[in-house]
Amino acid sequence: MNMNSLKFLLTTLLVLIYSKNFAQTNYYKMKNGKILTEEQYSTVKQNASKNGKVEEIILKREIKKDSIINTTRITILMRDDKNNYFDPYSEPKKLIGKHFPIENFKNSKQKQFSKNYLKGKPTFINFWFTRCLPCIEEIPMMNNLKEKYGDKVNFIAITYENKKSVDDFLKKKNINFQHITNSKKEIDNLKYSSYPTNLILDKNGNLKYVYGEISDFQDDIELILDNLLEI
SS3 155: strand
> Is the pLDDT confidence value at 15 over 50?
no
Number of separate domains in the chain: 2
CATH of residue 130's domain is 3.40.30.10
> Is the pLDDT confidence value at 3 over 80?
no
Residues 215 and 120 in one domain: yes
d(CA 132, CA 207): 24
User: pTM score, two decimals?
Assistant: 0.85
Residues 80 and 93 in one domain: no
Domain range for residue 59?
A: 3-85
d(CA 79, CA 82): 8
Quick: pLDDT tens for 119-136. Answer: 999 999 999 999 999 999
Residue 203, burial from CB neighbour count under 10 angstroms (0-12, 13-18, 19+): middle
d(CA 210, CA 200): 7
Residues 93 and 178 in one domain: yes
Residues 99 and 213 in one domain: yes
In contact, 124 and 153? CB cutoff 8 Å: yes
Residues 74 and 116 in one domain: no
Among 85, 110, 130, the domain-final residue is: 85
